[in-house]
Amino acid sequence: MCAGRHLAYDSVWLAMSRILATFTISEERDEDGGIVQPDITFATGFTRHPEPFLCEIHPRDDKARDLIQSIVD
């Protein structure tokens, strides 16, 4: 077993919780405002994972937007 596995799991958990707390992630919308259903296909290889698909990612509020902007600047 990997000695750092607990640190790795906790790091992923913290990263995902911070992303979900800061951003709203939703389905892609077309020009009429309708939801675009992604075509979910999976890549094959050593690991199986979904192929990239379109989605919309926006800051949850002005406070999150300011936080992101302060990091970018």
Tell me which amino acid residue 57 is: I
Neighbours of 57 (CB within 10 A): 10
- For 66, residues 6+ apart whose C-beta sits below 8 A from its C-beta are none
State the pLDDT confidence band at 33, using cuts at 50, 70 and 90.
confident
Q: List the one residue out of 48, 31, 50 whose CA is nearest residue 40.
A: 50
Per-residue model confidence as pLDDT tens digits over 46-72: 888 888 888 999 999 999 999 889 988
State the pLDDT confidence band at 5, using cuts at 50, 70 and 90.
very high
Alpha-carbon distance of 17 to 31, in angstroms, equals 31
Per-residue model confidence as pLDDT tens digits over 9-26: 999 999 999 999 999 999
Rounded to two decimals, what is the model's pTM?
0.68
- For 37, residues 6+ apart whose C-beta sits below 8 A from its C-beta are 27
Domain boundaries, the chain: 23-72
Q: pLDDT at position 72, please?
A: 82
